[in-house]
């Protein structure tokens, strides 16, 4: 007899919450935003936007956002208060906030001090600061050049073109795209470099820009000529072959609801495959542009039974097998897939994920270490992670290190479904993206 499924409501998308709030605050007038994720990272973005001049208030379960007049404003934005203390943009450990907000603030005027937690000061920013410098921003690095903390003096995007790579992060491009409609001229953003990662996150940015009526066009190079194409038709980026023409339209205020988050839902979808009861996820858009929607395809390749119906996404207990998979487009899923791979019958290799070493921690090394702690054989290379399932953990005890990384904690919780008693050195780190995770997880293991 099939067991009744465990029902879990997906939290709101973190990626879309960041982008929606930014677009709403750049729009003139008032926007009403519902279902915004309530997490530490989103609060960092809210605080930065407020510091730039936006007003964000909570009312009847929604956020009422009053946009900035004439874009973000830092200290001495009017040029008359040179002794004014730089406006503080504190990122804590939110890489998304840091990359998006630095580029957005540079599209405004005034002086900003950009800084964060110690780990944030170790994450490279040179590609973005170099691009913003070419557009007219000035940087005074307090420590190592190309890293936080720094003082940024912004005067808007003064040049008409800029190059950026997607080798380290797609968020550099997303930040420039979000800031460019605030310029007083058309801005061309060209993708350069050797490879491009995480394209789906750029698609999310373009979707929000479109929904808030910001003007842009995407062009690809064919036969040495540039040709405009529908942005939704692009499934990946070849450096040197794609550019974005952003018009100086600004944004329009609107009402908006943020959809469910495939990244944070991934742990529960995996639980349905490796546990003993089906799991039904509600609140997810099966046709979402979120790159982490790929968790359905990846789990299906591993042998999971997944059904999409009007009630939600249903995943049933399945016998999993190992696979070889390129996860360059969905790096946030790697800890989830790595943990699920420990339940498979054969080895798994995850490829094209070098950029995971630049996350809240070195996630490749962290995944390898914690999977080994759980009894697997796991090895990280410069660009890949290999997992060979090991001894069963039933009735064992494992104390996982989280590395203060929310995704490590949530992914390693899957080992409770192997019958192990699982503990974490810092379970509170999930507050970064999903404060209610362990309350929801009790439905799975309870």
Report the catalytic residues: 332
Q: Are 216 and 244 in contact (CB under 8 A)?
A: yes
Helix (H, G, I), strand (E, B) or coil at 229: strand
Cα-based torsion angle of the residue sequence 45, 177, 119, 365 in order, rounded to the nearest 10 degrees: 120
Q: Could you tell me whether strands 216-222 and 242-246 are parallel, antiparallel, or unpaired per DSSP bridges? A: antiparallel
Q: Are 33 and 20 in contact (CB under 8 A)?
A: yes
Sign of CA dihedral 221, 104, 115, 15: negative
Angle at 156 between CA 150 and CA 157, to 5 degrees: 100
Neighbours of 287 (CB within 10 A): 7
Non-local (6+) Cβ contacts of 216 within 8 A are: 177, 180, 181, 206, 209, 210, 231, 244, 245, 246, 247
Q: Are 117 and 92 in contact (CB under 8 A)?
A: yes
User: Distance between CA 343 and CA 418 in Å, rounded?
Assistant: 8
What's 4's DSSP letter? P
Any bridge partners for residue 348, and if so which? 387
Neighbours of 207 (CB within 10 A): 18
Q: Are 185 and 160 in contact (CB under 8 A)?
A: yes
User: Distance between CA 108 and CA 152 in Å, rounded?
Assistant: 11
User: Distance between CA 302 and CA 327 in Å, rounded?
Assistant: 14
Non-local (6+) Cβ contacts of 309 within 8 A are: none
Token representation of residue 446? 């309870």
Q: Are 32 and 255 in contact (CB under 8 A)?
A: yes
User: Distance between CA 346 and CA 356 in Å, rounded?
Assistant: 24
Q: Are 104 and 128 in contact (CB under 8 A)?
A: no
As a whole number of angstroms, the longest Cα–Cα distance in the chain is 75
Omega before residue 149 within 30° of 0, cis: yes
């Amino acid at each position: 007899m099939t067991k009744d499924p465990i029902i879990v409501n997906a939290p709101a998308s973190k990626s879309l919450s960041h982008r929606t709030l930014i677009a709403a605050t750049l729009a003139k007038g008032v926007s009403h935003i519902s279902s915004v994720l309530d997490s530490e990272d989103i609060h960092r973005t809210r605080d930065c936007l407020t510091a730039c001049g936006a007003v964000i208030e909570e009312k009847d379960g929604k956020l009422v956002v009053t946009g900035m007049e004439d874009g973000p404003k830092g200290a001495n934005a009017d040029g008359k208060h040179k002794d004014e203390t730089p406006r503080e943009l504190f990122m804590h450990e939110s890489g998304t906030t840091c990359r998006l907000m630095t580029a957005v603030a540079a599209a405004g005027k005034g002086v900003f001090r950009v800084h964060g937690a110690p780990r944030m000061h170790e994450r490279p920013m040179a590609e973005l600061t170099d691009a913003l410098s070419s557009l007219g921003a000035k940087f005074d690095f307090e420590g190592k050049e190309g890293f936080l903390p720094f003082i940024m003096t912004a005067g808007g995007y003064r040049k008409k073109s800029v190059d950026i790579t997607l080798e380290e992060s797609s968020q550099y491009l997303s930040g420039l795209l979000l800031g460019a409609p605030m310029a007083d001229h058309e801005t061309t953003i060209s993708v350069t470099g050797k490879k491009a990662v995480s394209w789906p996150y750029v698609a999310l940015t373009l979707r929000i820009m479109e929904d808030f009526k910001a003007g842009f066009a995407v062009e690809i190079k064919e036969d040495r000529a540039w040709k405009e194409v529908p942005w939704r038709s692009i499934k990946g980026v070849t450096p040197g072959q794609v550019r974005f023409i952003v018009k100086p339209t600004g944004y329009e205020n609107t009402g908006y609801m943020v959809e469910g988050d495939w990244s944070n839902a991934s742990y529960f979808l995996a639980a349905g495959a490796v546990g003993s009861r089906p799991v039904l996820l509600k609140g997810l858009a099966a046709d979402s542009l979120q790159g982490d929607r790929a968790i359905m395809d990846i789990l299906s390749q591993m042998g999971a039974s997944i059904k999409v119906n009007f009630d939600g996404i249903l995943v049933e207990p399945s016998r999993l097998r190992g696979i070889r998979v390129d996860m360059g487009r969905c790096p946030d899923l790697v800890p989830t897939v790595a943990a699920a791979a420990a339940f498979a019958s054969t080895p798994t290799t995850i490829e094209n994920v070098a950029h995971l070493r630049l996350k809240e921690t070195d996630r490749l090394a962290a995944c390898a270490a914690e999977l080994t702690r759980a009894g697997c054989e796991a090895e990280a290379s410069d660009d890949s992670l290999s997992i060979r399932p090991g001894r069963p953990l039933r009735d064992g005890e494992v104390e996982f290190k989280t590395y203060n990384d929310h995704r490590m904690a949530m992914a390693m919780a899957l080992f409770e479904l192997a019958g192990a008693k699982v503990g974490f050195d810092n379970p509170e780190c999930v507050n970064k993206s999903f404060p209610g995770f362990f309350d929801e997880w009790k439905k799975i293991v309870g």
